[in-house]
A and B are shown apart, each in its own frame.
Chain A
Amino acid sequence: MSDGVEFDSLVTRYYGPLYQFAFSLTRSESDACDLTQQTFYIWATKGHQLRDIAKVKTWLFTTLHREFLNMRRKIVRFPHYELSEMDHELPAISPAMVNVLDAAKVVELLNQVAEPYQATLALFYMEDYSYKEISEILGVPLGTVQSRISRGMAQLQQLIKDLGSPDTASKREEAHG
């Protein structure tokens, strides 16, 4: 799998989704490029250890997420969240409220969601992984994945709702004015 031609086709197939996942985590083009490149470097040096070749994609996403955590640990310690205290009732929003936003704004809002939920939500929205695969990639139990998605989705939708509400808009204008 590590020879030139197969490596090339592997890159062609997965570098886009991996980059988008990395960008959703970092919001930085250069950090996302570095994470994607580092992921394929690790594949080139350690990919031969993967026994089940059908799991290449999961392996790549797992590696990228691990590298992201390593990168973050060097910068900040994760804040601690009391998950049970968070309200996860889904706020009602319409597709139109999302459609007026551009991709960069949605990524910005995703990064305002509590840290532990961000990667889970990114995989939930961007990839077609089963919940079991998401739990393997992130290294957390299946139940934790589901609760993180529920709570993260509630936070994200609340942020989108706040963005569209007149009160929030006027507060933003006051802050800038």
Chain B
Amino acid sequence: MDSREAREILALYRPGTADAADPRMAEAMDFAQRDPELAAWFEQHCAVYTAIRSKLKSIPVPPGLKRRIVVDHMHHARIIPLPSTVQLLLAAAAIIVISAIVWTVFTTQNPNTFVRYRDHMARMVQRGYSTSMQLGDQSQIREYFRTNGVPADYVLSKNLQKLPGEGGVILNWNNRKVEMLCLDASANAAAGKGKDLWVFMMKKSDVQDPPKPGKTYFEQVGHLQTASWAEGDKLYVLAADGTRQDLEKYLQ
């Protein structure tokens, strides 16, 4: 190995990586120790590499990117292609479930009570919902509701208004339209707790026994805590993975 060859090899050397373990690199580095001119060049080369690397590693990453990817995944995850056998089994299971639901709808009474409505919504989000959601911040979601024929004049508490919007969707419950607003509560969520918070809104008159005005009703449904209240002509249900005290804070 001569000085020129050693320099060509060392030009590809990256300090702080596994390159030093490469036998040819190690040999070239040994050579550089015996050649002061090459050693000085090599030292400069490493310093320049480190400077360029640190510049490129400091490219700022947009703060909302991670949430955008995860929210996007929430929807796409439900269309992951599965092996055909699994697909067939799932299709068969879906037919059975749909048949059972249709049979239930046509053969049983399904009164529009407040408790049924609240529990249905809270359990739906716990199971995972497959409806595509309109993504955006709170004002964009409100605009989406307004342009899609549902009331957008709902009133949220100050603390709920502060939460970043994740998405909104218009649901159907017993032929009544329900607005579902999904908010990002990750900044306030305790460790191990869910990061999403849902607000459901519908006309108060769509249930036969709405909560009394001026009073908030708390109830645990599955692993979600719910808070429900009526205000104006609307019925609100808030659901989140937290305690009653957590929800009370959001309502302030």
Contacts and interface: CB of A to CB of B under 8 A. Distances in A.
Given A98-B55, A125-B53, A7 B77 contact: yes
Contacts of B62: 19, 29, 33
B44 A106 contact: no
Given A11-B66, A45-B76, A106 B47 contact: no
B55 A15 contact: no
Interface string A101-127: 111001100100000000000101110
A7 B70 contact: yes
Interface in B51-84: 51-53, 55-62, 65-66, 68-70, 72-74, 76-77, 79-81
B12 A149 contact: yes
B56 A99 contact: no
Interface residues of A, number: 47
A106 B52 contact: yes
Contacts of B79: 45
Contact of A33 (B8, B18, B56, B65): B65
Interface string A10-29: 01100110011001100001
B93 interface: no
Among B8, B11, B52, which residue has the most Cβ atoms of chain A within 10 A? B52
A92 interface: yes
B53 A126 contact: yes
Chain B contact residues: over half helix, strand or loop, or mixed?
A: helix
Contact of A98 (B52, B65, B69, B70): B52
A150 B12 contact: yes
A15 B65 CA distance: 8
A11 B72 CA distance: 12
A43 B77 CA distance: 10
B65 A102 contact: no
Nearest to A106: B55
- Looking at chain A's contact residues, the main secondary structure is helix
Given A33-B68, A106-B52, A16 B80 contact: no
A93 B52 CA distance: 11
B61 A20 contact: yes
Q: Could you say which of B45, B61, B66 has the most chain A C-beta atoms within 10 Å of its C-beta?
A: B61
A44 B76 contact: yes
Contacts of B107: none
30 contacts: A4-B73, A4-B74, A7-B73, A7-B77, A8-B70, A15-B66, A16-B61, A19-B61, A24-B59, A37-B68, A40-B72, A45-B81, A48-B80, A90-B11, A95-B44, A95-B47, A95-B48, A95-B51, A98-B51, A103-B58, A103-B59, A106-B55, A122-B56, A124-B14, A125-B49, A126-B53, A126-B56, A128-B18, A150-B8, A150-B11
Interface of A: 2, 4, 7-8, 11-12, 15-16, 19-20, 23-24, 29, 33, 36-37, 40-41, 44-45, 48, 90, 92-95, 98-99, 101-103, 106-107, 110, 122, 124-126, 128, 130-131, 146, 149-150, 153, 156-157
Interface of B: 8, 11-12, 14, 16-18, 44-45, 47-53, 55-62, 65-66, 68-70, 72-74, 76-77, 79-81
Given A19-B61, A157-B48, 14 more contacts: A2-B77, A4-B73, A7-B73, A11-B73, A15-B61, A15-B65, A23-B59, A33-B62, A45-B80, A90-B11, A95-B44, A103-B58, A106-B52, A126-B56
